Amino acid sequence: MTQSLAGRERTVPSGDLTLWAEEFGDPEHPTVLLVMGAQAQGTQWNDGIVRRLVEGGRRVVRYDHRDTGQSSTVEYATRPYTVADMASDALAVLDAFEVERAHLVGASLGGIIAQRLAVTHPRRVLTLTSLSSQPLGTDTAALVQRALTGLPPLPGALPPPTPELLSTLATTLPGPESSLSDHIAARLPLWRVLHGPVLPFHEDEYRAMERRVHERARNLRAGINHTLAGAAREELTTGDLARVTAPTLVLHGTQDPMFPPAHAEATAAAIPRARLVMVEGMGHTLPAALDGRLAHEILRQTADADT
């Protein structure tokens, strides 16, 4: 039987907020900072990925964004924030662990945060891995709005999320006082669509993940604020990715319904010397069946830049 993964938890200050974080591996080893996506907790980075990275000689840190898990929640109406503020939270985590330079691995919105830091704080970034994400500066809200109103994408624009995903997103938000069983029942249809149609869907895996999310959350609905933060005006553009100097891996699923493969291609094209790896059959989730493949790619990406 696989032993449970033992991490070292701590609370990290970020301004007047506190962020939950967890560290694994030898503190003397190169650090990989795992940055999750919108409305997602740090523990949604699978233990299987973390274990493989540690076994590969990496110190791994994962954390809960503001408004998720055990981190502080914010009243967005009176205290709005942006993706830039969420990027500052990631730097606060690195500072708390006394990490001067780290390998950044960001999934979905976490990929945008990691890209942003590679532009604005290049000295803090050893390597960049943008996973299941899109180019910095993409106006996703505009893409979605056009799709919802039946308008085709503008010429040269990236494709919106699939119609099936947009329809499912509108109907799978659990109520504020949902029981655990109701919460899981509401979320499973979304995970089925995000997972994609090719790889086997193991319902028990997603049930266990949502059970842990439900148990850890201070406020399950606070993560909706990430959507508002992502829609706030971003002063950086995709063109700014030309300033990225960190070795970059763009890692993406061929069946991603949130950010179809053209988003990965555009990200890789915008970053000098970026390497694009498409994972056959993967959607917009990180199923345990892909732990080994994803960890292998991250270890390969971080190996040459170890310091």
Set 14, 71, 88, 108: catalytic member: 108
108 is catalytic: yes
Set 64, 67, 256, 291: catalytic member: 256
With vertex at residue 160, the alpha carbon angle to CA 43 and CA 273, rounded to the nearest 5 degrees, is 70
284 is catalytic: yes
- The SS3 assignment for 226 reads helix
- Residues pairing with 277 in the sheet: 251
167 is catalytic: no
Q: How far apart are CA 238 and CA 49, in angstroms?
A: 29
Set 88, 214, 284, 291: catalytic member: 284
Q: How far apart are CA 221 and CA 199, in angstroms?
A: 29
Just list the catalytic residues.
108, 256, 284
